[in-house]
Structure 1
Amino acid sequence: MNARALGLLLGYGADRLLGDPQRGHPVAGFGTWALACERQLYAPSRTRGTCFVVVTTAPWVGLAVLATHLPASRTLVTAAFTWAALGGRSLEREALPVHELLFEGELEGARQRIRSLVGRDTSALEAPDLARAVVESLAENQSDAVAATLVWGALAGSPGIVLHRCVNTLDAMVGHRSERYADFGWAAARLDDVLNWLPARVSLLATAAVVGATDGTSAARRVLTGASRDGARHPSPNAGPVEAAAAYALGVQLGGLTTYGDRVEDRGQLGDGRPVSVRDIRRAATLTRQVGLVVLGAAVTATAMGGRLRRR
């Protein structure tokens, strides 16, 4: 096992054991930096938005490149960047309390707690809609916050991890289809789509592998075909396939109308199962963790094999 592969493994283990740092999180620091840059660079134009992406991400990617050449162990550097970028444990920590609140009938508490997990308007959502929101967020963020880190770490090491996490954070900040960010956030949103295309397909394959291991090849094939078909109904080219894969894996139906402030988005019907129930949140969290482990195994194996081939 080479340094990069071992670093990914150690970083994943640190995330599962510790979760995100409670103070001084690098992603939060990057968000503060990005806000300062936005104040200086904002204009309702795609050119300004593209400059914003370059200015905000370049220093941090450069820092990651320099870090890989430090005398310190490359394994530890990769592990640190992987841990900082991964969000699997924290994702579960946000999702499971919503499950507990809904299970206890605390609807208003669940509506408040879920706001740290989703961007949609939750003020009028009932328990089944809140459960659907959690399951969809778990599926989408497994790809964004787990699979993408491992895939880009395997492909490009620490610089790849940092580039993806920076762009993904910018997309969350300015990639909205609002009047302010329609043009300024265009570059961040499109680049995020590009960087997440491969991780989303890896997540889809990993979901099928998890289902196939328990329910057989026909079930795995159903996940693949159903997700490929239904995912195209979703407005996001990457969230669609992974959410549809989760729907088929869990035997539920996701998607439909989703409200963001004064905007209603039709995500199409994803899956052909029963409506989501509160108990499906725990099932989705388990599926998310299993898919992450499969992606980790694939990333570590591919990295180790690639290193071995380069040495020949």
Structure 2
Amino acid sequence: MSEPPGTFGPMKTLAATRPDAIGIALGAVLDALFGDPRRWHPVAGFGRFAGALERRLYADNRTSGAKFTAVAVGAPVLAALAATRLTRDRPIARTVLMAAATWSALGGTSLAREGRVMAARLSAGDLSAARAQLPNLCGRDPSALEPPELARATVESLAENTSDAVVAPLFWAAVAGVPGIIGYRAVNTLDAMVGHRSNRYARFGTASARLDDATNLIPSRLTAALTVAAAPLVGGRPSEAFRIWRRDGSHHPSPNSGQCESAAAGALGVRLGGRNVYGTRVEQRPHLGDGRPPTPADVRRAATLTTAVGAAAAALAVAARLATTRRRRRKPTHR
């Protein structure tokens, strides 16, 4: 259906030439204002779809896991490609589509909010409430953790998830538009569902875990670089954050998490890493940084880093998409 003359005014003029860039900006603003959608979250719907697909395709081998990953990621990407094609000549619809995809994929505001809740509970000395808060941030067993370990777990989760829930979705939105951001969120959700180490998923989840590693390779390092730049906002020094990142970034067992966590450790002046308990599994992680153990105040500073890095990443994503649009408009058409 065509839009009547004058509809949306200046918004229509902007969207006509820059729908993806405007959509990314609007989605980031919606996340900043409201956080994650509280009802009918698309990621929850995708999780139900992936769960049903897993029940049909599961077998304890890597081939089945690869088929599962291909279908679970391919289906939403194909749907996003179709929606993008349908809105190609409808700039307002294209803008709304990108804004909705961006908002649904971002989690920075909710992530920082959960971190501040933990800081408040630790500051109040409410250990039981702090332990109850930790599952909102990571999968560690909080039952025996004392305040310093709860603070460390929160800072590490904020650092890692600033990449997973903020920078990476924006990066893929800038690189590949709506299909990119939808595809990334599908990959990251699958990693959370089947990519962890367990008897059931040791082989079946390999493809999902490896694909998640690959899609986060650049975003995790971009997150670290933005964390270095944002260090003065939390009382840190970029030179120290950069030094710790370069020295300790590869010490983590994950090829990506260590990049974000080491840069955050340097920016905050704290030491991360140590003994982590995940149910019956215990992991001894290498130490990152030279500082003291994190405190509740450091948790609040880490939440500030999440917000600052997210804002910078959003600005970069909008700028990158604008540059892509300009290049396409300048490209000569051969008939």
TM-score calculated relative to the size of structure 1: 0.96
1:16 to 29, 32, 35: 32
- The one-character-per-residue Cα deviations of 1:257-308 (angstroms, maximum 9, x if unpaired) are 2111121222211111111111111111011100111111211112212221
User: Equivalents in 2 of 1:246, 1:10: separation in Å?
Assistant: 28
Q: Which moved more, 1:291-300 or 1:156-165?
A: 291-300
Post-superposition offset of 1:212: 5.9
Give 2:286's aligned residue.
268
193, 202, 209: which is aligned to 1:173? 193
Q: Name 2:275's counterpart in structure 1.
A: 257
The answer (yes or no) to whether the contact 1:95–1:114 under 8 Å persists in 2 is no
How far does the alpha carbon of each residue in 1:153-180 deviate from its partner, in whole angstroms, 9 at most, with x for none? 0000010001110010010011111111
Q: Aligned partners of 2:300, 2:147: CA distance in 1, in Å?
A: 14
- The one-letter amino acid paired with 2:179 is P
Q: Which residue of 2 aligns with 1:45?
A: 61
Residues 1:26 and 2:42 aligned together: yes
**Equivalent in the alignment of 1:310:** 328
| Residue 70 (structure 2) pairs with residue 58 (structure 1) | no
Question: Quick check: 1:107–1:126 contact (8 Å CA) kept in 2?
Answer: yes
1:125 aligns with 2:145: yes
Other structure's SS at 1:139 match: helix
- Whether 1:232 and 2:250 are equivalent positions in the alignment is yes
Give runs of aligned pairs for residues 93-112 of structure 1, distance below 5 A.
93-112=113-132
Letter paired with 1:250: L
For 1:50-85, what per-residue CA distance to the aligned partner results, in whole angstroms no more than 9, with x for missing partners? 011112121211111111122442111111100000
Contact 1:111–1:123 under 8 Å retained in 2: yes
Q: Deviations over 1:15-38 (max 9, x none)?
A: 111111111110011111111111
Contact 1:234 1:266 in 2 (8 A): no
Pick closer, same or farther for the CA change 1:195–1:104 going to 2, 3 Å.
Answer: same
Matched AA of 1:122:
P
Q: 1:97-151: CA deviations, max 9, x gaps?
A: 2222111111011111211211011110000100111111111010000000100
> How far does residue 225 in structure 1 lie from its aligned partner after superposition?
3.0
Unaligned residue ranges in structure 2 (runs of 5+): 1-16, 331-335
1:24 and 1:93 map into 2 onto residues whose CA distance is: 20
SS of 2:299's partner is helix
Cα deviations by residue, 1:215-250 (Å, 9 ceiling, x for unpaired): 79xx32332232122121111111101011000001
Q: 1:295 & 1:276 partners in 2: Cα distance?
A: 25
CA distance in 2, matches of 1:215, 1:247: 12
Q: 2:217 aligns with which of 182, 193, 197?
A: 197
Partner SS state of residue 252, structure 1: coil
Question: For the residues of structure 2 that align with 1:212 and 1:68, how far apart are their CA atoms?
Answer: 40
> Greater CA deviation, 9-18 or 260-269?
260-269
Task: Give the corresponding residue for 1:162.
Answer: 182
Q: What is the CA–CA distance in structure 1 between the aligned matches of 2:324 and 2:253, rounded to whole Å?
A: 35
Moved more, 93-102 or 166-175: 93-102
Whole-Å separation in 2 of the counterparts to 1:97 and 1:45 = 41
Equivalent residue, structure 1, for 2:309: 291
**Native 8 Å contact 2:231 2:268 kept in 1:** no
Q: Is it true that 1:5 corresponds to 2:25 in the alignment?
A: no
Instruction: Name the amino acid aligned to 1:197.
Output: L
Distance 2:106 2:176 in 1: 16
Asked whether the equivalents of residues 256 and 266 of structure 1 are also in contact (C-alpha less than 8 Å), the reply is: yes
By how many angstroms is 1:213 displaced?
7.4
Instruction: Give the whole-Å Cα distance in 1 for the aligned partners of 2:137 and 2:128.
Output: 15
Gaps of 5+ in 1: none
Corresponding position of 1:153:
173
Please tell me whether residue 211 in structure 1 is matched to residue 231 in structure 2: yes
